[in-house]
Amino acid sequence: KKNGVVSHVGIYLGGGNFIHASSGAVAGIQNNIANGYHIALCCQP
């Protein structure tokens, strides 16, 4: 959330996978949550 606007969203798909996209993205990106970087992203309020 920046200046009261949500700029990035994600949905957990199960099996350690999730899809996420920023407000400027044309399409979503699927990643595995086992990557430490993505765990940090998902755990931010």
Domain coordinates in residue numbering, the chain = 8-42
- Residue predicted with more confidence, 2 or 23: 23
pTM: 0.53
Check if the beta carbon of residue 18 is closer than 8 Å to that of residue 12: yes
10-40 pLDDT tens trace: 888 888 888 888 777 667 777 777 766 655 5
Token pair of 22, please? 């920023």
- Residue predicted with more confidence, 34 or 43: 34
Mind giving me the DSSP string for 11-32? EEEETTEEEEEETT-SS-EEEE
Q: Which pLDDT does position 28 carry in this prediction?
A: 77
Q: Which pLDDT does position 18 carry in this prediction?
A: 82
